[in-house]
Structure 1
Amino acid sequence: MASSSNQGNLHNSCNRYSDLQVDSTANNNDFTVECARDDEVENFIEGFDDSFSSSSGLWIPKVDDNKVKPYSGQIFRDIETCFKFYAEYGRQGGFDIRKSSQKVRDGIVVYKYFVCSKGGNHETSMSKESDSNSDLSLVSSTAGVDVRRRRRTVTKKCQCEAKVQLKYGGFNQYIISCFVEGHNHPLASTSGKQFLRINRTISSLQRRFILDAAKSNIGAHRAHSLYKSIAGSYTDIGATATDFQNWVRDIKLYIGKHDADMLLQKFQNKRETSDAGFSYEYETDSDGHLTRLFWADIPGRQSYEVFGDVVSFDATYRTNKYGMVFVPFIGVDNHWKSVTFASALLNHEDSTNFTWVCEMFLKVFQQAPKCIITDQCPAMKVAINKIFPNSIHRYCMWHIMQKFTAKVGPVFCAESGFMEKLNKFVWSSHLTISEFEQGWNSVLDEFGLSEHVWLNEMYLMRESWIPAFFRDKPMGALLRTTSRSESSNFFFNHFVQRGDTLSEFYICYESAIEKQIYENKKLNDGDRCIPKTITEKEIEKEAAQLYTRTMFYKVQKQIKASCFHISLAGQPIVADGVSTYIVRDKTYDEKYFEVQFSFLTNNVDCSCKLFTRVGYLCRHCFYCLGLWGVERIPHQYLCSRWMRNAEDRFCKSKFSDVMESTNVQNIRDMSKKVWTVFQGCIEYVSNNGDGMQFLFDEMNSLKIRVEEKFESSRATKEDMLEECFGVRPSTITTVHPPLQSNNKGSRKRLVGPAEKSCDGKKRKLRVCKFCMLEGYHDSRTCPKKKMQNPIMQAANNSVDNISTNQTINTGIIS
């Protein structure tokens, strides 16, 4: 019976290879089909597939070593050993296997079946129902009814009867009682064996590689391509790109409801192992869903002590799957680079959430920043005024100036010279408040905009964004726009994706912070080199020794200008030990500045207020110091935030950041050491063929000894999550993942008229197929097409309705 069944299956599977001989006639367009005979098909297949046996009509696996071929009566110590043995036979033979049914008696498995993966029948009742209703579906579709089509799929199952039957033989032994060798389907070719499921496994090294790639915003598909370069070829990877993607998908699904819990557990572990150096706070709604989260790590807290005088924060979007708003707090370090102090995730952008974030910020850092810069978000303004009443709140100038073209008019701003004249008063840091106000009003009067509503609104809030009002504020001109925040948001977006879970988001965030710290260390190391000076002044040489390289170049620019662009206008006035100088600056249109110098205390003050605004002396001060022969920068003007190694020298808080060694961490560290030794061996014999062969033989023998001494342990998904994220999912969910948020910035940002006009200029002219004229439209958006006669449109619609009715009636009749 089995032979007859197999022969029948053979004929079914062989029909794909049969050649059709067609004899057509030209007169009546009829044709006859003559199918190849069964013996011809068998001979044809046997000619190109040496695993096919024409005598039995089956495919017999060919293996290199007959020791891996099962046989009846073969004894194994347990079921798993037999499964691995049969799997190796399938791997070499070109077919996949799977575990099938079993019989249990008194708690002992007495029979166990391993079958070919193509065994069984994939046909289901649903597919039968679909076949029986196919005619009805066709009629309904013809009648205009929308019918949902089934997805096109394929099946690998073809009732193959190849199998191994195990029988319990007592004394903890299992015996192969039945072994069916032949398959009723072609086996995988040599080149196709790599795609068998048994040959496609993702190793722990590959999982780590996928995770490390994700930290740099590299998806699973691109990670597969990169791993090919490491492995040598796609064949050597041992898994397909789909396998890589499926592993990431399975991890995301398994995280599921544990997402928020895993992240909070990771935060708790970091807090416990850092002597409270790592700080975090969170809140949930009434149902236990995470709504807002704030955290500050040790590097951020230490940086804030030195560079926290000015803070910029802005919200960014599309960083996680829940749509939560990401809010980083950004400052400027001693290399004029952005530094992250703390971060938050919020479910909504409202005053309540921003107030809570500011409260947590003040709770952790214990000191409010001197100046905070944001955009014109009303919710942020409410929160800052409430929590930081003594801090200076400054609006981003760039956002306001970008609105001028939309509010006043793009043509007027571009062609009238209005913006050019207004910019001289708006952006200047050297004007006093009265000079700005006079200039603003004169420009508006000149162009007849004194009654403009929006301009008057901006004038009323001038204290919040015009530089003239921040001249006397410490570090008031360090940041004038939120470009720091926006560039940081752009930086973080290189590491995160909008589909990330919270756990994935944070490990990507950690990767971004690690890069930020690495770049800072690199710049600190670069300060060991002393930059060249361009003058012979001792004060410049001292500045090269004290300031970071970036800041020295800014100070050097002022020292150079003091030598070539500053001149004395009149005699100084001396009173009470203070000399007052009036100097002329060629750089600023021959503008005059007043400098006061005390030769008793070396105190120097300039009307340009550069030191107050940014923390280093101006060219006017250096000029006056040179007149008195001062060769060293007075110590009171050496701002600590711009000095070399500022964090190490001036940070008072010292937190411990030594993580406790866990078993997973120890194994990971030892794995790195093993790889280092192995790579060192390869490097040592890389150009020696005999040496490489010796290393290969030694590694093979070592592999055998390891397999004999240690049992292979299959990692569970909990182990994978702990390996990837540093924590294991809890069995009890205390904090649920956030609900999906819908914030104002979740979609693409609104584009103003100015950007639209710029984009229009970039587009190429094309010929419209409707009006046959060149323009920035096509036949769908042609303005002439929209201006057609309504009567003609109505007539066309009537004709269309008549035609449609006739078509429907015809379909019903037929």
Structure 2
Amino acid sequence: MESLNSVVGSNEQIKEPHVINVSDSDFGEDGMDEVSSIPFQSPGGGMYWKPRVEAEFKPYINQSFRSLEDGIEFYRDYGRKSGFEIRRHTEKKHEDGTVLLKHIVCSIAGRNESKMNVDYEDFSSSSKKRRRTHSHFLVSGSGKQFLKSNRVLGLAYKKLVFDGAKANMGPNKTYNFAKELCGSYSNVGATCTEFKNWSRYVKLYIGDRDAQMIIEKFTDKKEMSDGFFDDYAVDEDGRLTRIFWTDVIRRRNYDVFGDVISFDSTYSTNKYNIKFVLFTGLDNYKKCVVFAAGLIAKEDIDNYVWIFEVFMKCMIREPKCIVTDQCPAMKQAIPTVFTETRHRLCMWHIMKKFNQKLAKCISKMDDFKRKINALIWIIDIDPATFEVGWKDVIKEYKLESNEWLCELYNIRESWIPAYYADDPLAGLLRTTSISESENSFFDKFNRRSDTLTEFYLRYESAMEKQRHTNARLNYEGTKSMPRMDGPLLLERDAAELYTRTMFYEVQKEIMSSCYDMSINSISEEDGVKIFSLKDKKRHGKIFEVKHAYLNNDVQCMCRLFEKMGIVCRHGFFALNQADVTKIPRHLVVNRWTKGAEMRHSLQFKEISEQCNAIEVTNRLDGERLDYLEGKLKELKHSLRESSLKSDTQNKNDVMEFFVGSKIPAEVIVKPPIEGRNKGCGRRIVGDYEKSISQRKKKCSESRFTALNLDSV
């Protein structure tokens, strides 16, 4: 056992240099180092070991330190390099609390000798020679990394664990990643256990304060930005049941791209199993863009009405169209709030049920689906043509009495494109695929065990990636021009107006206007030129397009401009015939142009910068250098004092910095109870899915048999 005698004030302010009195037997009569790593045997027959370390790390007689903690840290480092742990032992204090004597011992000193060897030390004050020896093996070089004093998770690694979780990296993956950064596991300075412990402490820090912390976090965000909006509701027990949030960027995006939105809910995003709902649309690159998000405890009418009302309160105007699945609660809630919005059902969700519902009724399912798809997915046909075709197919396969098909036919106006072809941007969304895409996108960031606070941090990380993708596309669109496929000036004008994604779609229409059109007839009436064009790409179908000389307005019976917001090939043909070199600006829809989000109608306040960069000049005179040196000393002293805080307090400070939320002084809003919603339990597998799985199983068995026969 090693002893450290030091004198320090109770308030840890230094009154005089602190002397550590170390017995001189460790160093010999002249104080020189005689430590050896070779074990030796005492006169009593016991085995002992002396540590071997570099001279700069070894204690010496009359060594002094600035403070008691500095001395203890020195001995901790000495033990770390020698291969043993230390711990604080007995101490003596003055009446005023000043520490007069402090013993630092090996971590296993004083344990039961019947169980293990223990250190032997002579503490006789009259002894001039006191051996610093250990009665146990000292840890070897490769094992020193596992000493507790060497397994300290630094702030950088704590940040790595915390930020790695935002990218859905668990502590194991983060630890392996840290190893690759450092070159080896021994260079990490901690084991996987420390990484796991810190990850677990995140949840302990949040605990039952989860809902209150997320509410206070949103309150802080509203104080920082007027554009941030949130709302929540609690039950009679004060438990959170639903919450909604969005920020100024997403509100601005809704103003520009919120004409057609998709709404869907997903599960397995948090530990409470409450549903995550998203309002999603398409931006000017046809990429998914989130307008707002929320969490609801149940998928019922009351919760959906609440989330829609809060959405309207935030966004002011209704969307032109909202696409959802066939959820009965949504079906009743949407018209209650969105009185002017057209509610359409996801075609994909309906079409995927055909096999399940009709497999037993139809022997030639592929032929039936081919004929029915020709009616359902084609947007050019009119309702009358669809109805005739539908009845013919149903009659051919003798399905007139099928209740499910009859129900679909009764609600045909909500999912068949022929009935909403005249709606603005009707062809933009026909399914909730962008919602499914966003759900899959968020799955890469969140985990089922996340608290609400953790979930929101991962949500923000996902949104940051979405904004980064948009910024990258903006940059790529400005650094160069896309390739021109033809000589028309209309094509070059389109390249300057539209985003790269939309330009390629417009370019196809322009090129088709040059090579796929043939004039059937031309007439003129009241300043309007009427072209009758035969479209080779549309199987020779005749399209009539009108071109007004006065304002270069074009109208085509294909109605592509109304459905998608871009001029069709027939319209470009008419413009080219009139030698128009620039696309008329009233035919350019803002949502598809470069920088569309900057031309919004609502006046949103700019997000102010939270901190200013500090510029430090390179030319500092002597007075400034002295001032800087003094500030650095003060900072060093304050950091040393802060390190003397309890471990828990330091952890909480670090966690507050990472999470961005303080521990609430009072918990008013309690966390939600775990919900039981659709999708949270085990799903019942239908007959069609069973047949598919059995078919796959038979195929795998036949392949396995074939492989075995080949090997014989």
Aligned to 2:586: 636
Secondary structure of the corresponding residue to residue 424 of structure 2: coil
Partners of 1:209 and 1:54 lie apart in 2 by: 49
Secondary structure of the corresponding residue to residue 281 of structure 2: strand
Once the two structures are overlaid, the 10-residue window that deviates more, 491-500 or 650-659, is 650-659
- C-alpha offsets along residues 698-737 of structure 1, whole Å, 9 cap, x if unaligned? xxxxx99996896263371221122212222123222222
The answer as to whether partners of 1:583 and 1:593 remain within 8 angstroms in 2 is yes
* Aligned counterpart in structure 1 of residue 140 of structure 2, from 182, 189, 202: 189
AA partner of residue 730 (structure 1): P
1:334 has 2:284 as partner = yes
TM alignment of 1:88-167, pairs within 5 A: 88-99=77-88, 108=97, 114-119=104-109, 158=116, 160-161=118-119
The answer as to whether partners of 2:281 and 2:289 remain within 8 angstroms in 1 is yes
Once the two structures are overlaid, the 10-residue window that deviates more, 509-518 or 584-593, is 584-593
The answer as to whether partners of 2:117 and 2:136 remain within 8 angstroms in 1 is no
- C-alpha offsets along residues 247-274 of structure 1, whole Å, 9 cap, x if unaligned? 1111211211222222222211211111
The answer as to whether partners of 1:568 and 1:583 remain within 8 angstroms in 2 is yes
User: Cα–Cα, structure 1 residues 505 and 619, in superposed 2: closer, same or farther, change >3 Å?
Assistant: same
Aligned to 2:499: 548
User: Cα–Cα, structure 1 residues 398 and 766, in superposed 2: closer, same or farther, change >3 Å?
Assistant: closer
Q: How many residues align?
A: 648
Partners of 1:717 and 1:451 lie apart in 2 by: 68
Aligned to 1:30: none
Partners of 2:511 and 2:374 lie apart in 1 by: 25
AA partner of residue 265 (structure 1): E
Secondary structure of the corresponding residue to residue 450 of structure 1: coil
Aligned to 1:353: 303
AA partner of residue 632 (structure 1): K
1:647 has 2:597 as partner = yes
Once the two structures are overlaid, the 10-residue window that deviates more, 53-62 or 96-105, is 96-105
Aligned to 1:733: 667
User: Cα–Cα, structure 1 residues 454 and 102, in superposed 2: closer, same or farther, change >3 Å?
Assistant: farther
The answer as to whether partners of 2:161 and 2:174 remain within 8 angstroms in 1 is yes
Q: What's the offset of the Cα at 1:586?
A: 2.6
Once the two structures are overlaid, the 10-residue window that deviates more, 394-403 or 591-600, is 591-600
AA partner of residue 266 (structure 1): K
User: Cα–Cα, structure 1 residues 564 and 450, in superposed 2: closer, same or farther, change >3 Å?
Assistant: farther
- C-alpha offsets along residues 407-434 of structure 1, whole Å, 9 cap, x if unaligned? 0117837545100001000000101111
AA partner of residue 296 (structure 2): L
1:301 has 2:291 as partner = no
Q: What's the offset of the Cα at 1:633?
A: 2.0
Partners of 1:538 and 1:424 lie apart in 2 by: 37
Partners of 1:287 and 1:643 lie apart in 2 by: 50
* Aligned counterpart in structure 1 of residue 38 of structure 2, from 50, 53, 58: 50
AA partner of residue 233 (structure 1): S
Aligned to 2:535: 585
User: Cα–Cα, structure 1 residues 375 and 164, in superposed 2: closer, same or farther, change >3 Å?
Assistant: farther
- C-alpha offsets along residues 641-693 of structure 1, whole Å, 9 cap, x if unaligned? 111111123454332323545xxxx9xx99xx99xx9xxxxxxxxxxxxxxxx
* Aligned counterpart in structure 1 of residue 240 of structure 2, from 290, 296, 303: 290
TM alignment of 1:492-641, pairs within 5 A: 492-528=442-478, 529-569=480-520, 571-641=521-591
Partners of 2:42 and 2:122 lie apart in 1 by: 23
Partners of 1:86 and 1:517 lie apart in 2 by: 51
Q: What's the offset of the Cα at 1:587?
A: 2.4
Aligned to 2:640: 711
Partners of 2:500 and 2:122 lie apart in 1 by: 74
AA partner of residue 247 (structure 2): D
Partners of 2:701 and 2:428 lie apart in 1 by: 51
User: Cα–Cα, structure 1 residues 107 and 343, in superposed 2: closer, same or farther, change >3 Å?
Assistant: farther
The answer as to whether partners of 1:63 and 1:89 remain within 8 angstroms in 2 is no
User: Cα–Cα, structure 1 residues 497 and 61, in superposed 2: closer, same or farther, change >3 Å?
Assistant: farther
- C-alpha offsets along residues 281-337 of structure 1, whole Å, 9 cap, x if unaligned? 111222222221111112111111110101112112222222121112111111111
Secondary structure of the corresponding residue to residue 555 of structure 2: strand
Aligned to 1:697: none
TM alignment of 1:158-237, pairs within 5 A: 158=116, 160-161=118-119, 181-237=132-188
Structure 1 runs of 4+ off > 6 angstroms? 70-77, 101-107, 120-123, 162-167, 176-180, 703-709
Partners of 1:521 and 1:599 lie apart in 2 by: 39
Aligned to 2:384: 434
AA partner of residue 517 (structure 2): I
Q: What's the offset of the Cα at 1:521?
A: 1.1
Partners of 1:636 and 1:707 lie apart in 2 by: 65
Secondary structure of the corresponding residue to residue 185 of structure 2: coil
Secondary structure of the corresponding residue to residue 448 of structure 2: coil
Partners of 1:421 and 1:107 lie apart in 2 by: 97
Aligned to 2:264: 314
TM-score by length of 2: 0.83
Partners of 1:578 and 1:166 lie apart in 2 by: 116
- C-alpha offsets along residues 119-143 of structure 1, whole Å, 9 cap, x if unaligned? 56699xxxxxxxxxxxxxxxxxxxx
Aligned to 2:371: 421
1:742 has 2:676 as partner = yes
Q: What's the offset of the Cα at 1:613?
A: 1.1
AA partner of residue 477 (structure 1): G
- C-alpha offsets along residues 440-473 of structure 1, whole Å, 9 cap, x if unaligned? 1111011111111000101111111111111110
TM-score by length of 1: 0.73
Secondary structure of the corresponding residue to residue 412 of structure 1: coil
Aligned to 2:322: 372
Partners of 2:240 and 2:633 lie apart in 1 by: 50
AA partner of residue 62 (structure 1): P
AA partner of residue 564 (structure 2): V
Secondary structure of the corresponding residue to residue 196 of structure 2: helix
- C-alpha offsets along residues 29-79 of structure 1, whole Å, 9 cap, x if unaligned? xxxxxxxxxxxxxxxxxxx98346455624434131467556999877765
Secondary structure of the corresponding residue to residue 587 of structure 1: helix
* Aligned counterpart in structure 2 of residue 447 of structure 1, from 397, 400, 415: 397
Partners of 1:765 and 1:560 lie apart in 2 by: 47
User: Cα–Cα, structure 1 residues 325 and 710, in superposed 2: closer, same or farther, change >3 Å?
Assistant: closer
5+ residue gaps, structure 2? 2-35, 619-631, 644-648, 707-712
Q: What's the offset of the Cα at 1:225?
A: 1.2
Partners of 2:42 and 2:696 lie apart in 1 by: 68
Q: What's the offset of the Cα at 1:742?
A: 2.3
Q: What's the offset of the Cα at 1:602?
A: 2.5
- Aligned-CA RMSD value: 3.5
Q: What's the offset of the Cα at 1:764?
A: 6.4
The answer as to whether partners of 2:344 and 2:415 remain within 8 angstroms in 1 is yes
User: Cα–Cα, structure 1 residues 234 and 595, in superposed 2: closer, same or farther, change >3 Å?
Assistant: same
Secondary structure of the corresponding residue to residue 642 of structure 2: coil
AA partner of residue 537 (structure 1): L
Aligned to 2:340: 390
Aligned to 1:135: none
Aligned to 1:84: 73
Partners of 1:230 and 1:705 lie apart in 2 by: 33
User: Cα–Cα, structure 1 residues 491 and 459, in superposed 2: closer, same or farther, change >3 Å?
Assistant: same
The answer as to whether partners of 2:86 and 2:107 remain within 8 angstroms in 1 is yes
Partners of 1:423 and 1:192 lie apart in 2 by: 68
Identical aligned residues as a percent: 41
AA partner of residue 674 (structure 2): Q
Partners of 1:183 and 1:419 lie apart in 2 by: 83
AA partner of residue 328 (structure 2): P
Partners of 2:585 and 2:221 lie apart in 1 by: 40
Partners of 1:416 and 1:306 lie apart in 2 by: 42
* Aligned counterpart in structure 2 of residue 362 of structure 1, from 309, 312, 322: 312
Aligned to 2:49: 60
